[in-house]
Amino acid sequence: MADQANTSQKRFLYLAAGVSAMGGMLFGYDIGVISGAILFIKKDFSLSLGMEEIVVSAVLLGSLMGAAIGGFLADRFGRRKLLILTAMAFCLGAIAAAVAPNTAALIAARVMAGIAIGIASFVAPLYISEIAPVTIRGKLVSLNQVALTIGIVISYVIDYALAADQAWRWMFAWAVIPAAIFGIGLFFIPDSPRWLVARGHPDKARAVLQRLRSPEEVNGELARIEHNAAQQKGSWSELASPLLRMAMIVGVGLAIMQQITGINTVIYYAPTIFKFAGLSSSAVAILASVGVGVINVVFTLVAMQLIDRVGRRPLLLISLAGMTLSLAVLGAAFAMPQLSGFVGWIAVGSLMVYVGAFAVGLGPVFWLVLSEIYPLSIRGRAMSVGTLANWSANLIVAVSFLTLVHILGKAGTFWLFGAVSIGAWCFAFFLVPETKGKTLEQIEDHWRAGKRPRAL
């Protein structure tokens, strides 16, 4: 009897995590889809180079807005309700982009999709982190990153399939299906029990925990959440309090490191980089990009399996070491006078290793740690600050990559990212705490006691 109850609770837990991870899938799809669509939009709307850049980066601008407003809304109205709004914005954004009569309408539609991405990028991990039991929290939150990487691959494949017909409107339209599944699914999953306690509804939180945990776990967990919630003010000023300063440095620092080590130069410009490396045909370059996407998925799955066993720190450190080495090799390949044949393949290979190294650590670990290290009462707002830093750095790298290549050369650019990765490794080594096996409440207590991150 007890066993049966445990199985149905587990199933419900996975369902709730799976539904919210659809937010990650839409995030991935919507950032990936533009790479193929832009080729045809450019022709249909006769875009100048400047306008083309605006159409491509509109989604990043929207993400910044979503990241900025999402935290307050998540703390005020709850994670689930905000995700429902986000699903509607994803749907509207997709339809509006698909039927856009002109460039202005298309830009507006992409900003709308971007706002949804900016919110979903952190509210989905936040929600999962708050419903997950401590022993599998890493795995469940990383499910969101797995979904994200799958979303990127699906967008590449759909772009590829529709390219012959130049059907860019359909490329956007396909996002309506996952958005609808996301929106409908959210009506069947509960509010976060932790948020319910923070808003003064312990009875509702108990009812939710009873659906997610075995009966003997409910009382203890609820008591711990209530105990911690009672000590918090929940005001913006807490974000700047000396006790949380270190948590803010860790979150914002990791957010920036995740981007300035260069991952999105590959996600956004993979075909261009492959062409740099001597793959002359566009079709082969696009196919190689799908390969990059698949490696991203596979190694994120590996991380998901390991993250609660070996911990966040070891994965992060191995990941950054792998990224540094592969960037060094990539730069060296580009520094060779004759980049073709064997040297070209070394470049392609090291790019693949780089993506795999990112996927096994820095990709999922950043979003996971961000969802773990802040106190309940200000978790949404604090994550919003880290997310804003992440999207800002993302935008800066995206718009400066081709200029960097122009100024420093290809080898110089990848070596620069390699040098930054060494800095990121040191940051992670000295400042990122190991959150494996700790409840969110234990992590809060740690900061409040004024202890150092590595002492956790």
Residues near ligand BGC (CB under 6 A) are: 145, 148-149, 258, 263-264, 267, 296, 363, 367, 390, 394
Are the C-beta atoms of 307 and 134 separated by less than 8 Å? no
Enter the DSSP assignment of 361.
Answer: T
Distance between CA atoms of residues 92 and 84, nearest Å: 13
Q: Which is nearer to ligand BGC, 258 or 319 (CB)?
A: 258
Enter the DSSP assignment of 132.
Answer: S
Neighbours of 449 (CB within 10 A): 9
Give the Cα-Cα-Cα angle 109, 114, 118 (nearest 5 degrees). 155
Distance of CA 104 to the CA centre of its chain: 28
Q: Which is nearer to ligand BGC, 267 or 440 (CB)?
A: 267
Query: What's the closest the beta carbon of residue 172 comes to ligand BGC, in angstroms?
Result: 18
Q: Which is nearer to ligand BGC, 32 or 183 (CB)?
A: 32
Q: Which is nearer to ligand BGC, 98 or 148 (CB)?
A: 148
Query: What's the closest the beta carbon of residue 210 comes to ligand BGC, in angstroms?
Result: 33
Q: Which is nearer to ligand BGC, 358 or 414 (CB)?
A: 358
Whole-Å CA distances, 379 to 38, 125, 252, 374: 37, 12, 14, 5
How far is it between the farthest Cα atoms of the chain? 70
Q: Which is nearer to ligand BGC, 106 or 263 (CB)?
A: 263
Quick one: which of 125, 18, 19, 86 has its CA closest to 363? 125
Neighbours of 3 (CB within 10 A): 7
Query: What's the closest the beta carbon of residue 390 comes to ligand BGC, in angstroms?
Result: 6
Q: Which is nearer to ligand BGC, 86 or 228 (CB)?
A: 86
Query: What's the closest the beta carbon of residue 394 comes to ligand BGC, in angstroms?
Result: 5
Query: What's the closest the beta carbon of residue 272 comes to ligand BGC, in angstroms?
Result: 16
Ordered DSSP codes for 92-103: HHHHHHHH--SH
**The dihedral sign for the CA sequence 33, 34, 39, 41:** positive
Query: What's the closest the beta carbon of residue 27 comes to ligand BGC, in angstroms?
Result: 8
Distance between CA atoms of residues 257 and 161, nearest Å: 34
Neighbours of 102 (CB within 10 A): 8
Q: How many residues does the chain have?
A: 456
Query: What's the closest the beta carbon of residue 89 comes to ligand BGC, in angstroms?
Result: 19
Residue with CB nearest ligand BGC? Answer: 363
Quick one: which of 6, 109, 61, 120 has its CA closest to 371? 120
Q: Which is nearer to ligand BGC, 20 or 390 (CB)?
A: 390
Query: What's the closest the beta carbon of residue 142 comes to ligand BGC, in angstroms?
Result: 10
